[in-house]
A and B are shown apart, each in its own frame.
Chain A
Amino acid sequence: MSKIYNTAGNPFKVPENYFLNLEERIEEKLHNTEISSPKTSFIQIIKPYLWLTSVFVGLYIFTNILLNTKIDSEHKIIKASNIIPSDKEVKLSEHKKISNEDIIVYLSDSDIDSDLIISSLQEQNE
């Protein structure tokens, strides 16, 4: 990199003995002003304990959620197994042991049109 001009020396000057007195002036100013030392606040003291507490609380919540989902899924499996029918075809009357007479009584007691019943039975037979 070429210098634009040959600036030999520093054109900026300082008052006489400025740097000789500078060290003393620095120390004097620092001792005159308030020197702050690190203050350990209450929050800084309890911070590590807060952190530990939050870790344990988090673990507790996490394990609770995990256990609850396991129990829930087990309950669902039990419920599902009750709903899922067996491989064999199960007729309602055989499963519940309802007699045909009971069915006739039920149909006659209900307000279902007998013609409708007959037509549906015919369709089934076809």
Chain B
Amino acid sequence: MNKHYKKNNIICYEQIQKEILMLVNEHKEYLYWHIRKIVISHEDTDKVLHTCIKIAYNNARAINNKLDLLKIATEKSIDFLKEKKENDFPNKNISIETILSNTLENDNLFQASDEETKLYAASLLLSENQRLIFNMKYFDNMDYSDIAQILEQSKESCQRTFLSALSKVEAILKLY
């Protein structure tokens, strides 16, 4: 009985994994751009994207929809940035925001007008939480309920954070 149970369990799990693969392929571009706005560099985005897909594939039972994928993508992007700071700048007292600003400045695949460059540069000066919420609300126009689910925060907290991020970005842009 145990062998049958195990066999059926494996077959069911393989089917779930196939469904996850379909879900990933359906939303791969959206995932890519979500990660790209966090890590900025295309090469880093590619690495993080493959990591996320592998995690989703190996934890197929826990993934139900696009929001679950975005949650993994957000967590892995943040982890990647922290690892990058530790590996590339181990002894230097440099912030992740500074690293990202340098990446943006030197990225050949970032082709923006002056205004857009200033806007993205200003968004990189926000704190980690503010920047995540600002990206999702301002650039992707996501609902607060979805943002709250991804970041595991309350809807009201996300709203407040976004408004403070928006006012901060406006203040920075006025300085330019």
Contact present for A30 and B53 (CB under 8 Å): yes
- Taking the complex as formed, is B62 at the interface, i.e. its CB lies under 8 A from any CB of chain A? no
Given contacts A4-B173, A12-B110, A19-B28, A26 and B50 within 8 Å (CB-CB): yes
Q: Give per-residue flags for A10-43: 1 if the beta carbon is below 8 A from chain B beta carbons, else 0.
A: 1111110001001101110110010111101000
Find the A residue at minimum CB distance from B9. Answer: A38
Q: Give per-residue flags for B98-110: 1 if the beta carbon is below 8 A from chain A beta carbons, else 0.
A: 0000000000011
Contact present for A12 and B10 (CB under 8 Å): no
- Taking the complex as formed, is A100 at the interface, i.e. its CB lies under 8 A from any CB of chain B? no
Find the B residue at minimum CB distance from A6. Answer: B115
Residue of B24, B37, B116, B166 contacting most chain A CB atoms (<10 Å):
B116
Q: Among B21, B109, B110, B119, point to the contact of A15 (Cβ < 8 A).
A: B109
Contact present for B28 and A22 (CB under 8 Å): yes
Q: Tell me the number of A-to-B contacts counted with CB atoms below 8 Å.
A: 76
Interface size on B, residues (CB 8 A): 40
- Taking the complex as formed, is A78 at the interface, i.e. its CB lies under 8 A from any CB of chain B? no
Q: Among A5, A27, A30, A40, point to the contact of B119 (Cβ < 8 A).
A: A5
**CA separation between A5 and B176, bound complex, in Å?**
14
Given contacts A11-B110, A12-B110, A40-B9, A26 and B28 within 8 Å (CB-CB): yes
Given contacts A19-B29, A26-B50, A40-B9, A11 and B173 within 8 Å (CB-CB): no
Find the B residue at minimum CB distance from A10. Answer: B33
- Taking the complex as formed, is B13 at the interface, i.e. its CB lies under 8 A from any CB of chain A? yes
Find the A residue at minimum CB distance from B141. Answer: A1
Contact present for B58 and A35 (CB under 8 Å): yes
Find the B residue at minimum CB distance from A45. Answer: B2
Q: Give per-residue flags for B22-47: 1 if the beta carbon is below 8 A from chain A beta carbons, else 0.
A: 00110011001100110000100000
**CA separation between A18 and B42, bound complex, in Å?**
10
- B contacts, CB < 8 Å to A: 2, 5-6, 9-10, 13-14, 17, 21, 24-25, 28-29, 32-33, 36-37, 42, 50, 53-54, 57-58, 109-113, 115-120, 138-139, 166, 169-170, 173
- Can you list 22 A-B pairs with a CB-CB distance of less than 8 A? A3-B138, A4-B166, A5-B118, A5-B119, A7-B119, A10-B33, A12-B33, A12-B42, A12-B109, A15-B42, A19-B29, A19-B32, A26-B24, A26-B25, A26-B28, A26-B50, A27-B21, A30-B21, A35-B17, A35-B57, A38-B10, A40-B2
